[in-house]
Structure 1
Amino acid sequence: MYENAVQNSVKPGKWINSTCKMCLHSCSIRVHVTDDGVVNKIEGNPTNPSNECGLCPKGNSALMRLYDPQRIKTPMKRTNPRKGPDDDPGWVPISWDEALDIVGKELKKTFDDDPRKLLPAINDFHKLYLWGWPAAFGGNNNYFSVVGTLCGGGYHPMNGFIHSTFAAGNDSDYCNYWINNGGCDGFSSHLHVAGAARHMARARARGMKLVSVDPRLSTSAAKSDEWIPIRPATDRHFALGLCYVMISENLYDAKFLKKDTNAVYLVGPDGFFVRNKDKKPYVWDSVENKAKTYDDKTIKDYALEGEYEVEGVKASPAFQIFKNHIKNCTPDEVSQITTIPAKDIQRIAREFAKAASIGSKIEIDGKELPLRPAGYNYYRGAQGHKSGTMSNHAYKLVNFLVGSIDAPGGHVGFTLDDVMIDRGHIWEGEGGQIKTTPHQLGPGVPFAYPPNTAHLMDYFPVGVHTGHLIAETFFDPKKWGMDFQPDTMLICHSNPLWNMNGPQDKYFAIMRSMRFIVAIDILLNESTVWADVVLPTLDNLERWNMTMIEPTVTEGPCLTQPIIKPLYDVKSEEEIFNEISERVGILDQWNEVQNFANMFFEKPELMLKPGVKYSDKDIAERKGKLWDNKDLEWFKQKGHAVTKRQPDKFYRPWEGQRIHFYLEDVLKEKKQLQEKMKKAKVPFYDIWQWDDYQGVPTDVLDPIHKEAAEFDMYAISFKDVQINFGESLSIPWISDIVRKDPVHMGILINTKTAEKRGIGNGDLMKVTSPYGTIMGLARLTEGVHHETIAVSNALTRWTGYHAVVKAGGGHFNKLLPANLENTCACSGQMEAAAKVKVEFFRKNPNDGQVVESEFSKYRYEK
């Protein structure tokens, strides 16, 4: 039976350069296609320094997405009016003309009635300009998703506030002491994993010390010199404890703070810098013992501490304000909050400061720079809490104290997309400081009352979209002053029912109430099965694109080009949105939005013209030319224009200006918002969480720690390299990896904790928060904090739309709150951990049918 078998790898064919799309980022790939037009191998492109020939399991399995037999093969229309997670839509295939006419007609009806009634959920990260389409739809600013807040809600705005970057990480080339807090950079998640793993391996091989602070023994923690288990949602306090030790023991870089930051600016009782009549901030000259403006050439030395009288008010340097704020963050006090022993907090602070080698120098490309080989790195697990603004700021301040912000070996900023090779990301701001750039995914939403958004983004002037707050506004519109009710939904490469936190029953009710839903995607998912019309798109191996997504130590765009002709009757996203826009009557507005979103206005000859429908290839070609004037043929041959990041854009790109130790701009935004809300007589002014706006972080506890006593444990979620937003679980290779791993197919609980509760390995247990309940098989391990249960996002899917995806015992997001009290009023960051009670439910059933039966009761809200 095997005599005619031919191994795919030896079939003749050709290699074509392209870009992976199996996660947010953009690793370059080489794809082998046989002479008979079959894709049979994908591997990393060795010429791209971003991923250095590497590719993660998701990337290697992308061909299974292309050939998934359950891909949507043609436009489909729903015939069953009943909508629910188990209701068969009764799909019937229809032509593109009919599908687009239906969608155009229904969206035109919404547009003519009130554009605010559209709820968009657009989440294609490789084509971020698609996110701007609602702006063409009458300036719609709604967002029915929490993709942004669930990963980097507080993270991205704060990077923009502090050193005008979108993301950040440690400089693996020179770092000698790396702290990973609540993230797995360099191992299994976050930025450009395939390349980052190699950077990390080299750093570890040359002796860099790695400390992981995490409630779970993650891949990073398992491969670290030291794992520090921490109580969830106390990471900010750990960071402030480190700051306390470094300040109290004078283990900080005073020269950096004085020269390169606003830590020396004098702050008055109102929290704002004290200024002269020309609006110039004051500092205190500690030699002449008098106030001077920050740019006074006669300053002998800057005071970092003390209290002084200036312009008739008492004022202190911002550094002193921070020191006052953390006076209670002693190692002993922080230990009580975090459960980390006080001696370890003190030891790590000292080790970190020593490793930073304050005062050392290095020469790079003929330029002498400060060498600070110590970096505090973090991501969602550490920053994904109600205090998102303050938490992100606290982690940055650890790096500030040793002068490692944007220094070789330290904590450096990564941009989202530099757009052009000679375009920087630093602009001159006010008072000698760099310009803050919290809005890098698009402009902020203007203030309005009544609100113009369904998720209250009118009141988050510096935040990322708080899609989960629609769970409050939709069901009590009078309380929030709503004068419209959404009735139409557009879903594009998104799964809001999966990614939204909080009450599934409310989200189901919202979906049922929609007059019309259109979904644009490759495969059906928990959300798109509710659609009235589904429009199928090209797979990544069938389409054109040009992208650069948060590269770490590199810069430059990567080309996606068709490897084969489309397998089915599908279209590009560009063609779909063009056709919809034309039918609604907003094609010109859509072209203008694309000019802005892609920054084509930087080179007017690339701008899209009115009345013309541009293809995915047209947009890709323009983005390539925008970078360095290379045409599409050049990119087709090379695959990318990625190089190591230019040192002057990477190390201290703000040289000569000051970065923001103290966030006065945050307080300015607060004051302006307060004034606008008071003037408009906004009725919920008094319940707004104003204390989330701070110039420096405080040690206030997040609300999660104040839940009722019966909820005596914490729940966190996690992901590893083979899982993206959960969609990769539809791929048999990935599903096979995950389902054979007890780490992913059960709920992790500390062995001693489980024994005290009478729970054995493999027993069914129930986990309940104040907001929801999930079920899971207990997986006993020493690799999780004793107060914590940990749930892989592999358990968050439910069945009914794809044969490969298996149901877990309930979606972790059901355990989370979706309310204002647990949302950072400044950044919009939602709380991503929960307080729970854990109960034994059934002895190890050893019966798959019993497990499946119990899981089915909790896989989603009934």
Structure 2
Amino acid sequence: MATGARYVQNSLKGGKWIPSTCKMCLHTCGTLMHVTDDGVVNKIEGNPTNPSNNGKLCPKGNSAIMRHYDPKRFKQPMKRTNPKKGPNEDPMWEPISWDEALDWVADELNKTIADDPRKILPSLEDFQKMNVWNWPLAFGNQNSFQSGGTMCGGAYHPVNGYIHAAFAVTNDANYCKYWINDGTGDGFSSHLHAAAQSNWVADARVKRGMRCVTIEPRLSISAAKSEEWIPIRPATDRHFALGLCHVMVKEGRCDYEFLRKDTNAPYLVAPDGTFKRNADGKIYVWDTQTGSPALWDEIDHTRMALEGTYTVEGTECKPAFQKFMDILEDCTPEKMSEVTTVPADTIVRIAREFSDAAEIGATIDIDGRTLPFRPAGYNYYRGAQGHKHGFQTNHAFKMVNMLVGSIDTPGGLMGATLDDQWVDNNRVSAGENGMMEPKPHQLGPLPPFAYPPTTFHLLNYFPVGLHPPHLNLLVHENPEYFGVDFKPDVMFILHSNPLWAMQGPRDKWFEFMESMRFIVVSDIIPTETTRWADVILPSHDALESWNMTMIEPPHTEGMCLRQPATDPLYDTKSEEDIVTELSERMGILDQYNEIVNIVSGFHHKPELALQPGKKYSDKEIAERKGLLWNDQPLEWYQERGHAVTPRRPDKWYRPWDGLRLHFYIEDMVTIPRDLKQKMEEADVPFRHEWHFDDYQPLPTAVLDPVHEEPPEYDLYGMFFKDIQINFGESLSNPWIKDIVYRDPVHIALILNPKTAEKQGLESGDIVQVDSPYGRIYGRIGVTEGMHPDALGVSNSLSRIKVTHGGVPHAGGHFNDLLPYDLRNTDAVTGQPETVCKVKLTKLDDWPEPLKQGKTVYELVDELKRPGKTGSH
């Protein structure tokens, strides 16, 4: 931007509109960028031709201009000249050439690979570029130091893969009449395509009078705009869902046709938890007409028993549905009310309203198909499912929908794909015994079982899960106990900020960073993590780079093009160019090209496959993705910006028609049995600490360990995000800061007024917040919009850097309060607990080091010195 340039209203500036795709979060709303005749981007709007977001754009999307012109952007490759590293150490960057930077990084990576490729810790989180995300597979590395997954949908994604063969879920705004949000702002403020989904949900409410109910501890945007807000004690959402299931089963409010015909609910379960099979491996059901066992494909589904106990070949068996009924006996509304604090009569009423709204038995004709019509959906996300028993919790939410038959039906809870890649790609395939094949692993392959482990974060022991990166810290503290025979010494970090996003105390993560020999970071702006780098490889931003993708669109499908609005402002490169140049220097270019082919699906059209020995730019890869989708060249996309259409009904509604869904997940019996046997045979020293009971084929009412902390921790600490700070690093952006820091919710630790009075606190009081795992400080804010048992901490308070002027330091980071141990990690998926118990201590003033502008971590050091009291 020219120095001293004058600015006038956009309407008086000549120029052109360029269609593109937003990247201010991980999703893909269509945009129009206005570029003036002198080459300045001065307006970004939603693209009205894109039916996903229909011209709507959230605050982050509009603020992409401020990221593009951020004066703090990295402008050229740089190397560190200050050998001392720390959260407040100035790296004293010195510019270097790209050749010097790339040669240096490649040499350091190869040095470690020659020793042991497991010693590299990658953290690659450009979710819109999965071709880059999986780069470490090219040198045989499956470590992960990134939070993407466990801190958003660690258990959510695998369970979606089991039930829908999909990556995400959302309610069907096309037909839904009763929309439940549990722990999510879908349709209002967050999650899938926030601006797009809010447009779809608003239409459904205005045009059809759709009713919305939000279950959350906090009066969020979703809760405030819903017809009803149901406050709930944190980390008890599974119990609320089981209470609903109890009512629906007891009162016969179930779609029994769906359960018999479209799920494995009638399949007979033997005492060992597996399905009862004959000698050929075929599963038995009970024939109510003949009063005898039959194979699942021998009789009409209407004759299959759902309830009862039967003897088959001398073995006492029960239908899977009966097994769930047995669990629900102890999940009465009264008992679940004691856990959740939601009144029992509210649980009963919501169960009845939901099942009535589902219109069990109704049908609808769509595109020549007669489909069940179930216009009620129980939708949820991180706030509800991010807990120790994450797999069971996600499964419980599915069961609410399963009981009324609203899985993947018009109006119900729908599976959303990560990226279809080509038009006719259907995510579904047949499994065994008439069931749909589960697909829990959609972000890449998992390493096989091994002891010693081949991954530093123990992924070898999570055969169903996503990466549990918080366990890097646990293993770092005691590598001998976990049998790790290597020590990571290099980090490669790209568009990721693990020091901000990871749970566990920052000071311990700082020690982890200090143990590294070499750290390379590729990013756009300074972050908490970039301060630890030895070299910076600056990347283009979204307004000067190419991409083609679709990321979890809730109601549409089709590729979205990102194209440059301007030439690169600085001496930066695309992520593809950075990784490709490194691959060539490291001698792994051919391996990387093949990874891109596999991840992008290019083998579906072999003429698009990347060839050995050739480097491909971001533009070339984008063009191939467009051709794979619909055979249209890049110029076609450049003119239109996208190929988005409403989601094809045959891929959206019951794409698994003719197959049975996993009501009962037998893998949760066989997988832990196999894993336990392998751990025993290998004499894994921590096998007795592994929580094999986390694996359950049906959800149970077991309490998460967070409810069992010492009684002095008398409140539940939880943190929250709104649309402007969701799914993206945006708080250094002045437009976003202007929104966030004018909102009292985002500048205080939030308590219910009755709780504040009980604690002897008033609005504005300074408090010390302790969990069993860490400490932060802050000021109290009071609102009726918080559950009395909870302390709410906005994500805006969780910064630990002062790199950008004006980003407030809030006395700590909420993630410091969270555990990073096996006790609080779901042994099935690796999902960590994201709620903690806390206690508050009123202070007369800020601790002196904080008043002096020091960080809470320096304060910790002060308190640890001889003669001082207190500890972290």
How far the C-alpha of 1:799 sits from its partner, in A, is 2.5
Aligned to 2:160: 159
Contact 2:260/2:302 (8 A) holds in 1: no
SS in 2 for 1:536: coil
Q: Distance in 1 between matches of 2:784 and 2:300?
A: 60
Q: How far off its partner does 1:724 sit?
A: 3.0
Aligned mates of 2:318, 2:5 — CA distance in 1: 84
Does residue 143 in structure 1 map to residue 158 in structure 2? no
For residue 323 of structure 1, give the secondary structure of its aligned residue in structure 2.
helix
How far off is 1:805 after superposition?
2.4
Give 1:562 deviation, angstroms. 0.9
Partners in 1 of 2:854 and 2:274 — Cα distance? 54
SS in 2 for 1:125: coil
C-alpha spacing 1:852/1:351, structure 2 compared with 1 (3 Å): farther
Asked whether the 8 Å contact 2:849–2:855 carries over to 1, the reply is: no
Q: Report the counterpart of residue 457 of structure 2 in structure 1.
A: 455
Map 1:266-665; keep pairs closer than 5 Å. Answer: 266-297=268-299, 301-665=303-667
Q: What is the identity, as a one-letter code, of the residue corresponding to 1:627?
A: W
Taking structure 1 as reference, are residues 652 and 800 closer, same or farther at Cα in structure 2, changes over 3 Å only? Answer: same
Contact residue 464 and residue 829 of structure 2 kept, 8 A: yes
Q: Which runs of 5+ in 2 are unaligned?
A: 862-872
Distance 2:241 2:80 in 1: 52
In structure 2, the CA distance between the partners of 1:673 and 1:4, relative to structure 1 (3 Å rule), is closer
Task: Quote how far apart the aligned CAs of 1:859 are.
Answer: 8.8
SS in 1 for 2:712: coil
Please give the alpha-carbon distance, in whole angstroms, between the structure 2 residues aligned to 1:851 and 1:332.
47
State the aligned residue count.
Answer: 857
Name 2:703's counterpart in structure 1. Answer: 701
CA distance in 1, matches of 2:6, 2:130: 46
Give the letter for the 1:48 counterpart. Answer: N
1:300 deviates by: 5.5
Equivalents in 1 of 2:5, 2:799: separation in Å? 41
Asked whether the 8 Å contact 2:24–2:728 carries over to 1, the reply is no
The verdict on how the C-alpha distance between 1:540 and 1:377 changes in structure 2, with shifts beyond 3 A counting, is same
SS of the equivalent of 2:723 reads coil
Secondary structure of the residue aligned to 1:813 is helix
Q: Which residue of 2 aligns with 1:169?
A: 170
Q: Which residue of 2 aligns with 1:237?
A: 239
Counterpart-to-counterpart distance in 2, 1:390 and 1:354: 26
Mapped to 1, the partners of 2:266 and 2:129 lie a distance apart of 42
Q: Partners in 1 of 2:658 and 2:607 — Cα distance?
A: 34
Distance 1:495 1:396 in 2: 32
Distance in 1, Cα, partners of 2:313 & 2:65: 68
Q: Which aligned pairs between 1:161-200 and structure 2 lie closer than 5 A?
A: 161-200=162-201
- The offset of 1:800, in angstroms, is 3.0
Query: Aligned-pair distance for 1:524?
Result: 1.2
Change (3 A) 1:230 1:702: same
- Write the mapping of 1:778-857 to structure 2, written as runs, cut at 5 A: 778-842=780-844, 853=852, 856-857=855-856
User: Using the alignment, how far apart are the partners of 1:646 and 1:391 within structure 2?
Assistant: 30
Q: 1:851 to 1:52 in 2, by over 3 A?
A: farther
- 1:518 aligned counterpart, secondary structure: strand
Counterpart amino acid of 1:200? Answer: V
Displacement after TM superposition at 1:299 (Å): 6.1
**What is the CA-CA distance between 1:123 and the residue it aligns to?**
0.4
Q: How far apart, in 2, do the equivalents of 1:299 and 1:321 lie?
A: 19
| Per-residue deviation, 1:3 | 14
Distance 1:423 1:4, change over 3 A: closer
1:86 to 85, 88, 96: 88
Cα–Cα, structure 1 residues 726 and 760, in superposed 2: closer, same or farther, change >3 Å?
farther
Once the two structures are TM-superposed, the CA of residue 219 in structure 1 deviates from its matched residue by: 0.4
Q: Superposed, which structure 2 residues align to 1:679-690 within 5 Å? A: 679-690=681-692
Q: Cα 1:564–1:688, aligned 2, differ >3 Å: closer, same or farther?
A: same
Separation in 1, partners of 2:600, 2:280? 38
How far did residue 857 of structure 1 move?
2.9
CA contact (8 A) 1:773 1:858 kept: no
Cα offset for 1:737? 1.0
Alpha-carbon deviation of 1:131? 1.5
Supply the distance in 2 between the matched residues of 1:509 and 1:725 (Cα, whole angstroms): 27
* Alpha-carbon displacement from aligned partner over 1:330-368 (angstroms, at most 9, x marks no partner): 011001000011111111111111111100111112221
TM-score by length of 2: 0.97
2:152 is paired with a residue of what secondary structure? Answer: helix
Q: Is the 8 A contact 2:34 2:41 kept in 1?
A: yes
Equivalent of residue 720 in structure 1, options 700, 722, 726: 722
Change in 2 beyond 3 A, CA 1:573/1:292: same
The secondary structure found in structure 2 opposite 1:135 is: helix
Which deviations, in whole Å up to 9, do the C-alpha atoms of 1:118-157 show, x marking residues without a partner? 00010001112212111112x1010012221000000000
Q: Tell me by how many angstroms 1:853 deviates.
A: 4.7
Cα-Cα RMSD: 1.6
Following superposition, the deviation at residue 854 of structure 1 comes to 7.8
Q: Which moved more, 1:849-858 or 1:149-158?
A: 849-858
Shift, 1:543, TM fit: 0.4
**Alpha-carbon displacement from aligned partner over 1:276-317 (angstroms, at most 9, x marks no partner):** 111111111112111111100466511001010112211100
- 2 CA distance for matches of 1:672 and 1:418? 33
Residue in 2 aligned with 1:59?
61
8 Å CA contact 1:471–1:503 kept in 2: the answer is: no
Letter in 2 for 1:220: S
1:742 deviation in Å?
Answer: 0.7
> In 1, distance between residues paired with 2:799 and 2:54?
33
Other structure's SS at 1:529 match: helix
| Cα distance in 2 for residues equivalent to 1:414 and 1:385 | 22
Q: CA deviation at 1:813?
A: 0.3
Does the CA contact (< 8 Å) of 2:72 and 2:804 recur in 1? yes
Residue number in structure 1 paired with 2:867: none
Deviation sequence 1:701-751 (CA, Å, 0-9, x none): 000000001101001111001113462111101111111111001111101
Deviation at 1:447, TM superposition (A): 1.1
Q: In structure 2, what residue type is equivalent to 1:164?
A: A
Q: 1:203 to 1:725 in 2, by over 3 A?
A: closer
Q: Distance in 1 between matches of 2:297 and 2:508?
A: 55
C-alpha contact (below 8 Å) 1:811/1:860 kept by paired residues: no
8 Å CA contact 1:22, 1:724 repeated in 2: no
1:600-655: CA deviations, max 9, x gaps? Answer: 11111111111111100111011111111111011101100110001011111111
In 1, Cα distance between equivalents of 2:301 and 2:141: 51
Aligned counterparts, 1:46-125, within 5 A? 46-125=48-127
Deviation at 1:557, TM superposition (A): 1.0
Quote how far apart the aligned CAs of 1:503 are: 2.3
2:866 aligns with: none
Residue identity opposite 1:265 in structure 2: Y
Letter in 2 for 1:66: H
Cα distance, 1:832 vs structure 2: 0.5
Give the Cα separation in 1 of the matches to 2:608 and 2:763: 61
Superimposed CA distance per residue, residues 200-252 of structure 1 (whole angstroms, 9 cap, x where no aligned partner): 11222221111111000000100111111000000000000000011011111
Unaligned runs of 5+ in 1: none
| Cα distance in 1 between the residues matched to 2:105 and 2:806 | 30
Corresponding letter in the other structure for 2:697: G
Q: CA deviation at 1:839?
A: 2.1
Aligned residues of 2:257 and 2:302 also touching (Cα < 8 A): no
Which amino acid counterpart does residue 147 of structure 1 have in structure 2?
A: G
**1:804-854, CA deviations, whole angstroms, 9 ceiling, x for partnerless residues?**
4222221110110001110000011110000111222237x9xx9998658
Select which of 18, 21, 26 maps to 2:20. Answer: 18
Query: Which SS does the other structure have where 2:101 is aligned?
Result: helix
